Amino acid sequence: MLTRVVKLTINPANATDFVQIFEESKSKILAFEGCHHLKLFSDKKYPNIFFTYSVCENETALNNYRHSDLFKDTWSRTKKLFACRPEAWSLDQHFEGDS
């Protein structure tokens, strides 16, 4: 499994538009082959800073999504809202705990 975290700093005036785009896209992203999990977080202190958290089957599944028409459409609408360049990390999990 591959975990992907993307930090998106949205212009504060566009935060509501970003959430709307995410709401419109989330079920389509989750239905994409190889996508197993998707979450959206916002920073408590800076609510215009968002983090997407997704889990894909592997890097091939992530790249298939990133080259899809769905991604291209969603990204073209989202990138207009940025206050600064996004940051992304692909992560390997070493531990998971529950209380």
Query: pLDDT tens digit string along 18-73?
Result: 999 999 999 999 999 999 999 999 999 999 999 999 999 999 999 999 999 999 99
CA distance 73 to 28: 12
Single pTM value for the model: 0.91
What pLDDT is stored for residue 99 in this prediction? Answer: 84
Nearest Cα residue to 81 out of 42, 49, 40: 49
Contacts of 11 (CB under 8 A, 6+ apart): 48, 81, 82, 83
Q: Is the pLDDT of residue 98 over 90?
A: no
Q: What is the pLDDT of residues 70-96, one digit of tens each?
A: 999 999 999 999 999 999 999 988 898
Q: What is the pLDDT of residues 58-74, one digit of tens each?
A: 999 999 999 999 999 99
CA distance 90 to 27: 22
Domains annotated for the chain, with CATH where assigned, are 9-91 (3.30.70.100)
Angle at 12 between CA 87 and CA 31, to 5 degrees: 55
Amino acid at 50: F
